[in-house]
């Protein structure tokens, strides 16, 4: 009998989470990452970068819907979107559900992630690859926002957890460059980790955001493959109008783009900003320390 193969996530010290690989579809090392692609009976097709789960076909909708629809619907008049990272294409697919969006520029550092995802994750990214509004540029995201003269209504930072290739995407300097790229009324949303297991990183990201933007918050989502409790999505903007949009306004704006969502609703949108006390305390202390 062939021994079962288990693929372990090694992101957190003191914790190991393993997924049984019913099949190993890909395993290689690029100039930036080790890429592993497996099939699992519970989570479906899974992509790991450097031992950390990035996306799973069974629950990708939770993360991608919440990262895309919350800022776009809160803003209410988004035309141009910049995505940093997100090479699997799932976030772009959700953004492009909004018909008023005219362009989506995605800056991804590793072409191999894009190519592998196009071949293996068509179940959730095929529509994005077929949409002429979407363009992918292979480049360093931090360098891009530092040098571009383009302006955007929403910037979405769909990064890996801090590493040699992504640490710059969690700094005050990066957020300052993002702020410069935003039009008036613009919003940045950034993946800020799982506060229960990554409290120091969460606090650091929120403090960096608070040094750039006068309105800083975060909202949460329950993504089964992102182990350790709620995932936090950091929010930065100048002004509170978008952050304070009520449920009726959100429902009206979401009527077309979000009819086929599996996680996002206008009620979930509002409720996601109601934080457990331990996350709220960490957020408020980080903002106060700016």
Q: Does the annotation flag 214 for ligand binding? A: no
Contact 135, 106 (CB under 8 A): yes
Q: Does the annotation flag 32 for ligand binding? A: no
Report if residue 180 sits inside a domain.
Answer: yes
Q: Are residues 31 and 155 in the same domain?
A: no
Mean predicted confidence (pLDDT) in 196-206:
95
Q: Are residues 130 and 243 in the same domain?
A: yes
Report if residue 216 sits inside a domain.
Answer: yes
Q: Are residues 267 and 154 in the same domain?
A: yes
Q: How many domains does the chain have?
A: 2
Q: Are residues 92 and 212 in the same domain?
A: yes
Return d(Cα 67, Cα 190) in angstroms, integer: 8
- pLDDT at residue 213 in the model: 97
Return d(Cα 211, Cα 216) in angstroms, integer: 9
In the predicted structure, residue 204 carries a pLDDT above the cut 90:
yes
- pLDDT at residue 38 in the model: 96
- pLDDT at residue 2 in the model: 53
Q: Does the annotation flag 161 for ligand binding? A: yes
Q: What is the pLDDT of residues 13-59, one digit of tens each?
A: 888 899 999 999 999 888 787 899 999 999 999 999 888 899 999 99
Mean predicted confidence (pLDDT) in 142-168:
88
Report if residue 1 sits inside a domain.
Answer: no
Report if residue 87 sits inside a domain.
Answer: yes
* CATH, residue 195: 3.40.50.150
256: burial class by Cβ within 10 Å (0-12, 13-18, 19+)? exposed
In the predicted structure, residue 178 carries a pLDDT above the cut 70:
yes
What does pTM read for this prediction? 0.95
Mean predicted confidence (pLDDT) in 188-199:
95
Task: Match 């990554």 to its residue by tokens.
Answer: 198
Where in the sequence is the domain holding 255, given as residue range(s)? Answer: 60-288
Q: Are residues 52 and 66 in the same domain?
A: no
Report if residue 86 sits inside a domain.
Answer: yes
Mean predicted confidence (pLDDT) in 202-219:
96
Those residues with Cβ within 8 angstroms of residue 69's Cβ, 6 or more apart along the chain or in another chain: 94, 254, 257, 258, 261, 264, 269
Confidence of residue 11 (pLDDT cuts 50, 70, 90): confident
Mean predicted confidence (pLDDT) in 266-279:
97
- pLDDT at residue 168 in the model: 87
Domain boundary among 39, 56, 73: 56
In the predicted structure, residue 286 carries a pLDDT above the cut 80:
yes
Q: Does the annotation flag 88 for ligand binding? A: yes
Q: Does the annotation flag 149 for ligand binding? A: no
Q: What is the pLDDT of residues 93-139, one digit of tens each?
A: 999 999 999 999 999 999 999 999 999 999 999 999 999 999 999 99
The tokens describing 111, both together, are 């072409």
- pLDDT at residue 32 in the model: 80
- Of 167 and 42, the structure prediction assigns the larger pLDDT to 42
Q: Does the annotation flag 172 for ligand binding? A: no
Q: Does the annotation flag 141 for ligand binding? A: yes
Q: Are residues 170 and 84 in the same domain?
A: yes
Report if residue 10 sits inside a domain.
Answer: yes
Q: Is 70 left (phi over 0), alpha (psi -120 to 50) or beta?
A: alpha
Confidence of residue 162 (pLDDT cuts 50, 70, 90): low
Q: Does the annotation flag 140 for ligand binding? A: yes
In the predicted structure, residue 163 carries a pLDDT above the cut 70:
no
DSSP the chain: -PPP-EEEE--STT--EEEE-SEEEEEEE-SS-EEEEEEETTTEEEEEETTEEEEETTTHHHHHHHHHHHHHHHHS---EEEEEE-TTSHHHHHHTT-TT--EEEEEES-HHHHHHHHHH-HHHHHHHHT-TTEEEEES-HHHHHHH----EEEEEEEPPSSSTTTGGGGSHHHHHHHHHHEEEEEEEEEE---TTT-HHHHHHHHHHHHTT-SEEEEEEE--TTS-SSPEEEEEEESSSTTTT--HHHHHHHHHHHTTT-SS--HHHHHHTTS--HHHHHHHHHHHHT-
Q: Are residues 37 and 146 in the same domain?
A: no
Mean predicted confidence (pLDDT) in 71-100:
97
In the predicted structure, residue 260 carries a pLDDT above the cut 90:
no
Q: Are residues 126 and 253 in the same domain?
A: yes
Report if residue 167 sits inside a domain.
Answer: yes
- Of 228 and 167, the structure prediction assigns the larger pLDDT to 228
Domain boundary among 56, 77, 98: 56
In the predicted structure, residue 164 carries a pLDDT above the cut 70:
no
Q: Are residues 48 and 189 in the same domain?
A: no
- pLDDT at residue 96 in the model: 96
Catalytic annotation, pick one of 149, 158, 246, 248: 158
Q: Are residues 205 and 274 in the same domain?
A: yes
158 catalytic? Reply is yes
Report if residue 159 sits inside a domain.
Answer: yes
Q: Are residues 12 and 121 in the same domain?
A: no
- pLDDT at residue 1 in the model: 43
Average pLDDT of the chain?
Answer: 94
Q: Are residues 161 and 71 in the same domain?
A: yes
* CATH, residue 50: 2.30.140.10
């Amino acid at each position: 009998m062939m021994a079962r193969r288990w693929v372990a996530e090694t992101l957190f010290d003191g914790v190991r989470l393993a997924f049984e690989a019913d099949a190993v579809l890909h395993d290689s090392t690029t100039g930036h990452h080790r890429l592993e692609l497996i099939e699992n009976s519970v989570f479906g097709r899974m992509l790991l970068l450097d031992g950390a789960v990035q996306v799973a076909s069974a629950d990708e909708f939770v993360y991608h819907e919440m990262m895309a629809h919350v800022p776009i619907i809160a803003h209410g008049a988004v035309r141009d979107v910049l995505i940093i990272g997100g090479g699997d294409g799932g976030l772009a697919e959700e953004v492009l559900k909004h018909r008023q969006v005219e362009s989506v520029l995605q800056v991804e550092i590793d072409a191999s992630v894009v190519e592998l995802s196009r071949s293996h994750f068509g179940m959730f990214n095929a529509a994005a690859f077929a949409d002429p509004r979407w363009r992918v540029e292979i480049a360093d995201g931090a360098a891009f926002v530092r040098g571009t003269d383009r302006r955007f209504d929403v910037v979405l930072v769909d990064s890996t957890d801090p590493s040699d290739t992504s640490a710059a995407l969690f700094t005050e300097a990066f957020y300052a460059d993002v702020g410069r790229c935003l039009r008036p009324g613009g919003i940045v949303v950034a993946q800020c980790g799982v506060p229960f297991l990554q409290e120091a990183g969460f606090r650091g990201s929120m403090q960096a955001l608070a040094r750039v933007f006068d309105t800083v918050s975060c909202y949460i989502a329950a993504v089964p493959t992102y182990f350790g409790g709620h995932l936090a999505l950091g929010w930065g903007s100048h002004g509170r109008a978008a952050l304070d949009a009520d449920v009726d306004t959100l429902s009206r704006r979401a009527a077309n783009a979000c009819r086929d969502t599996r996680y996002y609703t206008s009620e979930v949108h509002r409720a996601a900003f109601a934080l457990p006390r331990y996350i709220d305390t960490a957020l408020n202390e980080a903002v106060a320390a700016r």
